[in-house]
Structure 1
Amino acid sequence: EPGPLLRLADDAARLARAVFVLTGDDPDHEAAARVLAGLLRERDLSPADRFVTVAEPGTAAAKYAGEAGHPLVEAPAAAPFAALSPQALVPAGLAGADVAGLLDRASAMLPALTRPENNPGLVLGAILGGAARAGRDTVVLGGYAAALPELADWIALLLTDATRGRLLPLVQHGGLPVQPADDLFLVTLDGRPRQDDATVSGPLAEQLVVWEYAAAVAAYLVGADPFAPVPHPAPSPVPGTGADRSASAADPVSPSGPSAREVAASTADPAFAAAASLDDLVAEVADRAAGEGHLTIVAFLDPDPVHGEGAQVRRLAALLAARCARPVTIAWGCRYPAFGNDRREKGVYLVLTGDAARDVPVPGRRGTLGALARARASGVARAASAAGRPVLRLHLHDRRAGLARLLDSARGEA
């Protein structure tokens, strides 16, 4: 997404004191590094000492760091239980976090996780695993504390990775509290005690180790191996090549009315394709989400709540949650499928893309970051459709106007 990088480029003082950390082995890391290095050179700043790479030796990211002369922190391959790994702690420490204090508090929690009784990680994992074995395998995370707003997103990814998709964790990003249902297990972070199925609270360091222990226990109970090899996703197409020239494998739909100027839709789903207007499309999304269990909004937009589209996308999630009375979650620029899972993937996908008012070219490549994002969105839509999921992709010609039109449609009778 070019927006955050362009804001950084426009803030010379902030750019001058910035350090960039690349972790893992994402195939698009090199493109990001090239863009960031170009921004620095435009301000007569040397990129040589501004990058730190945290990666497993021998990976593409490690090789690029060597070629570019960037410091490399060698670390094991990313694993589900990585909250206290170099991938997390190196950028946290460079940003000024009290890493030593965090590790001390996490270590102080470990004796409680060795007890056979009154072990919070064992109890939480047993509850989650037992609920899944009883058919309540959709874990809805909500009510998170304002002090730790991103904790629920981390827990969702941890549970997905550790249980190899046998638990389906969803972060309720907006709307009314989710009502109990036979397939849902409601977990509240710092709120609504004795109203949901489980309530978890505590300082960050303690929660990190407790949740990782609980995820391991839950994985054991549902028969999943967190360390089993999983197929890696195909690399994103390189902008400017034939791989990304087709916007979507889906058939295009042109909603009638004024929305056609602001929003373009594409889908391979017959029910979505039959919609006559954007209002009908949004209504069908809510109806299908109610029947399929939940809705995932995959947004290839700027998540910043002030300068980007973060606030509008969250309002859209809240309105759709109120209409379908099921969990609605937001994934920014990615999809977390139930990899290695022998169960059918669930839910409806709404993929959002949009034209950027300003884009960023990728040095050494044909194309821009915006083109790369659109190529990734096409891959997400194809993969979800191939998994048998209803998928609707909406492209916003003007992001603000398009989202405003979507919000009007989502309000409907909610």
Structure 2
Amino acid sequence: MRHPEEYIEALVAVRDQFYDVAKRAFGLDPLMRTALDQACRSFTNSHPSLPELLAKYTHVLMTQSAKYASDECIEKRVEYVGVVFCLLDDKDVFKAMYSKLLSKRLIQGGAMSMDVELSLIQKLRDICGCEFVSKLQKMFSDKIISTNAHLAYTTWKEERDQLGSSTVECWFDVLTAGVWPIPTPTQDVELKLPAVCQQQVHLYATFYGTQSTGRRLHWVHHMSHGVLRMVLPSRSFEVHANYHQLVMLLLYNTRDSCSVHELETLTGFSKTDIQYHMQPLVKVLPKYTQLSAPKAKAAATSHELSDDRKMTMQAAIVRIMKARRESSFANLLSESAQMLAMQFVPTPAFLQQNLDILVDKEYIRLAPQQLEHADSATPPAASRSHAAVYIYVA
């Protein structure tokens, strides 16, 4: 969907319309309000890609907020995000996509207003609590600390007469590992910076070592980006490029043409990466912003979310069983749904899958009567039915 803002705002308009009817006709009677909330949640979550659409809506709002007439218009749309987010079942999917887009805005400087960003984070915190937004808030803290570190770095270079030692101006962001949703490059591929940037990298590493003892920098070069000035016979251009594009474009300072095989040899990039990152440089960009993740990245994100959900589900089961010591499947489903309501809605099949995993790991076990039933009548897998009773293994 090219324009997620149209879909999200249409959802809010439908919801507001029927809330207005319920208010005028029924005085928002508690039973009517409950029924209306359930109906709104049902039609809102009928779109399978709603979490992604809502995250894209926030991205458009934060990067194009200048197109809105006033601060009131922006605040109104932040409220829209809160309304749809409250109705959303898969809040963890939204959080994963939102954090990726937020990191992109913070690293690449795409946010139009930090105040609006923080107001949205505050709204998510009011709805889901501090734990839900703890990593998002830490990302902002890292950005503020990096800004202060850059000022200190500039002063440090001035004191050592290093300020004019390079024609390249570099900015370094120091990010906390495990907080930012940044993919880690494969261990067998060593990414190298262009030679013009290597000196600045070594200089900043020296500065950082004097400021933070006991800490080690792990460079994530594939997240770098920059602005290149291209001087052609007819005119000059400023090209905003990512790391891969920077490395490849700088090769043309010493040559007029370069084959794909030569690019592979000189950069160490794979043929797939070269084709993917070169494509925007040789084709005209469409008029709309393409926000959809590539299929490989989307599949990786889905796999990560699945693993995170399993760990979260198993942790919830263990917490419940530790408190109850013994519980039926129905009670586990009810209590885990309440515990995880601010992240996702667990299905009976998903709960059963994770119960089986915990049984195999010997964190919990079936009650004796369930085991007797399994031995006498049915196979063990079938005995772990929705009527099963589980016991916590201390």
Same-fold status (TM-score > 0.5): no
* Rg larger in structure: 2
More helix, by proportion: 2
TM-score range, shorter chain: under 0.3
Q: TM-score if structure 1 supplies the norm length?
A: 0.25
Q: TM-score if structure 2 supplies the norm length?
A: 0.26
More strand, by proportion: 1
